[in-house]
Amino acid sequence: MVVRIALLGLGAMGHPIARNLAAKRASEAETIVAVDSDPARLAGLDAPGLVATADPAAIDGAEVLFLCLPNGDVVESVLLGAGRLAERLAPGAVVVDLSTIAHAKAVAIGRALEATGRRFIDAPVSGAPAGAEAATLTVMCGGETEAVAQVRPLLERIGTRILHMGPVGAGQLTKTINNVLYDINIAALAEVLPMAVAMGLDPDQVAAVVTTGTSRSYASQYFVPRILQGRFDEGYPLGAAYKDLVAAAAVAAENGFPMPVTSAATATYQTALRQGHADKDKGAMVLPFEDLLGVRVRSGR
């Protein structure tokens, strides 16, 4: 089987995913082709069975195409835009979209691909760059049962938990839920930690509690140590990740779901963005509250 992977603006996730797909090839005859419009992004993708190129023609005739792109508009443009990439794939090909996009966009793309005789699986991942490196990602799939079963052996090369959540769009809906819960955790830390310091508590002592006690979460364990050091440049940028909250708001509005806690977390997120922190990671949501209370949640304060 020929497997080709499109690497378009992948950043830290794309390289390890490509390497793990190539490292676990089913046979020497299998080829993984990594394609990116920017040749600079392909630097370092040297591995047995892996071909890195900026030539989109390398995708022609692919039976399986993985995508990991910035947002739904880019996914739609690449597959269905002027280049009509979808129609250059083999008839019956499966497109596996590892990107994080809106539920409605995934459903629309799936229908459009079906009309060309290709199948679509929305398969967003969770596990951060470390999970991509270790091939321990959680993959949430939306699509036809047969199509998911066909690509499962490939997904097992990059992840340890492959979940078929339902029809096309179900994977993205699950990823939205996961990311919004993560955002709510961080937004809560952002407003509570400065309050603790303003009331005279020691930041390091408070950090020890919220990263080991009953309030601990992946968000606290990852971000609190970095907040203590004033490091806000090691996670996914706020500006890019805002799409998750937009996607959740769209689902809530369309279905009339009340989501007051999510709305409050979104307001915290938006405040950080309006104050110019879009290029910082989500831990930077603490900065507006630090400014408001006139404190800093830092070690050795």
Catalytic center residues: 175
Closest CA relative to residue 199, chosen from 88, 96, 293: 293
CB 168 within 8 A of CB 192: no
CB-CB neighbours of 165 under 10 Å: 19
CB 75 within 8 A of CB 68: no
Q: Tokens in use for 197?
A: 């310091």
Contacts of 127 (CB under 8 A, 6+ apart): 136, 137, 138, 159
Q: Are strands 137-142 and 50-53 parallel, antiparallel or unpaired?
A: unpaired
